[in-house]
Amino acid sequence: MFVQAKLIMQSYLPKTLEKGMIFLGMQHGEMVAYELSHIPLNTEDYIGINGAPVEPYIYILGNPNVPDETFCIATPDMIGWFDEGEHSDDLSDITIKEINNILENSGYCEIEVEEQHLDDDEAQEDYIQIVPVLLQDKVTIRYDNEEIYLDDEDEDDEEYYEYDQND
């Protein structure tokens, strides 16, 4: 089953910069993620101007008054598969395009999880813990069930796609 989660980009300070590192920047007044396409001559100057690189984490957001209800469910090394939805059975590698579409939706996405039932003998209750479903050590995410922006390579007009959640 898929549950709502939030993609959060967290910064870190590397010793050196490498191609493919993700940075956040402004484009047309919107925050967008982009990949480093070349290695700058001076790492400190580049970070001073553009900020530190970021990595994607996925959090389950629970009740803000209960500390254990908000937690990280996927770290950068686990984020890999993207499910285009009911109209496709294929999974693809997540790209910067999908990351930007999710960020445009305030970071909300859905992640595939399963429930594990845990017994607590002291409380004499069953607890349900959700854990990510891993396929080749990677989680599967998809767009949240809101209207999202999709680029159409054939047209210059913006198109919106309504995502229908049935899970």
Pick the closest to residue 14 from 47, 42, 41 (CA basis): 47
Residue 89 has pLDDT above 80, yes or no: yes
Place of tokens 């089953």: 1
Read off the tokens for 90: 């294929």
d(CA 39, CA 19): 6
More confidently predicted of 165 and 139: 139
pLDDT in tens, 117-136: 876 666 556 777 889 999 99
The confidence score (pLDDT) of residue 138 equals: 97
Q: What residue segments make up the domains of the chain, in order of their start? A: 2-162
Q: What's the one-letter identity of residue 23?
A: F
d(CA 15, CA 28): 31
DSSP, residue by residue, 31-76: EEEEE--S--S-HHHHHHHH---EEEEEEE---TTSGGGSEEEE-G
Please state whether the predicted TM-score (pTM) of the whole model is above 0.85. Answer: no
Mean pLDDT (the chain, rounded): 84
Using pLDDT thresholds of 50, 70 and 90, give the confidence band for residue 56: very high
